Structure 1
Amino acid sequence: MAIRLRTLLGDHPGTAALKSGAIKSDLVEFDFVDYSPTNKGFKPMVREAAFDVSEMAIVTYLMARSFDKPMVLLPDVVMARFQHGHALYNAKRGALTPTDLNGKRVGIRSFTTTTGAWLRGILANDCGVDLNSIDWVTFEDAHVAEFRDTTKRAPAGKPIIQMLVDGELDAVLGEKSDHADLKPLFADVAAEEKAWAAKHKVVPINHMVVVSRALCEKNPDVVREVHRLLAESAKASTAAPRFSADEMRRSLELIIGYTAQQGLIPRAFSVDELFDDVTPALQL
Structure 2
Amino acid sequence: MSRLPLTIASWDYDRVRPLLDGRVKVEGCDVNYLTMPVEECFERAYFHGEFEVAEIGFSPFLIALSRGPTPYVALPIFLSRMFRHSAVYVRADRGIESPADLAGKTIGVPEYQMSAVMWFRGYLQDEFGIKAADINWVQAGLENPGRRDKFPLNLPEGFPLVARNDVTLSQLLADGAIDGVMSARAPSCLIDGHPKVRRLFPDYRAVEQAYFRKTGIFPIMHALGIRRDIHEKHPWLGASLYKAYLQAKRIADADLVEVTALKIGLPWVSAEYEATQALMGADFWSYGLNDANRRTLAAMARYSYEQGLATRLIDVDEMFANGISETRV
TM score, norm. by length of structure 2: 0.78
* Cα offsets for 1:117-162 (capped at 9, x unmatched): 0011111111222321211000122122x33576212251x22122
**1:159, 1:266 → 2: CA distance?**
29
Output aligned runs, 1:205-224, within 5 Å: 205-224=220-239
* Cα offsets for 1:224-270 (capped at 9, x unmatched): 21111111111111269622611211111111111111010011111
The 3-state SS of whatever aligns with 1:197 is: helix
Greater mean deviation of Cα atoms: 110-119 or 188-197: 188-197
CA distance 1:200–1:282, change in 2 (3 Å): closer
Q: Taking every aligned residue pair, what percent have the same amino acid on both sides?
A: 25
Unaligned runs of 5+ in 1: none
Output aligned runs, 1:88-99, within 5 Å: 88-99=89-100
**1:224, 1:84 → 2: CA distance?**
34
* Amino acid of the structure 2 residue aligned with 1:136: W
TM score, norm. by length of structure 1: 0.89
Of residues 114, 137, 160, the one that matches 2:169 is 160
Displacement, 1:95?
4.2
The 3-state SS of whatever aligns with 2:314 is: coil
**Contact 1:77/1:209 (<8 A) preserved:** yes
Is the aligned partner of 1:73 residue 2:74?
yes
The 3-state SS of whatever aligns with 1:237 is: helix
Displacement, 1:213?
2.1
Is the aligned partner of 1:242 residue 2:248?
no
Output aligned runs, 1:40-189, within 5 Å: 40-67=40-67, 68-139=69-140, 140-144=147-151, 146-147=152-153, 151-156=161-166, 158-174=167-183, 175-176=185-186, 177-178=190-191, 179-181=193-195, 182-189=197-204
Is the aligned partner of 1:253 residue 2:298?
yes
Q: Report how many aligned residue pairs link the two structures.
A: 279
**Contact 1:80/1:241 (<8 A) preserved:** no
Greater mean deviation of Cα atoms: 178-187 or 229-238: 178-187
Is the aligned partner of 1:266 residue 2:311?
yes
Greater mean deviation of Cα atoms: 103-112 or 183-192: 183-192
**Contact 1:14/1:241 (<8 A) preserved:** no
Displacement, 1:24?
2.2
**1:282, 1:79 → 2: CA distance?**
18
CA distance 1:133–1:26, change in 2 (3 Å): closer
**Contact 2:106/2:136 (<8 A) preserved:** yes
CA distance 1:25–1:113, change in 2 (3 Å): closer
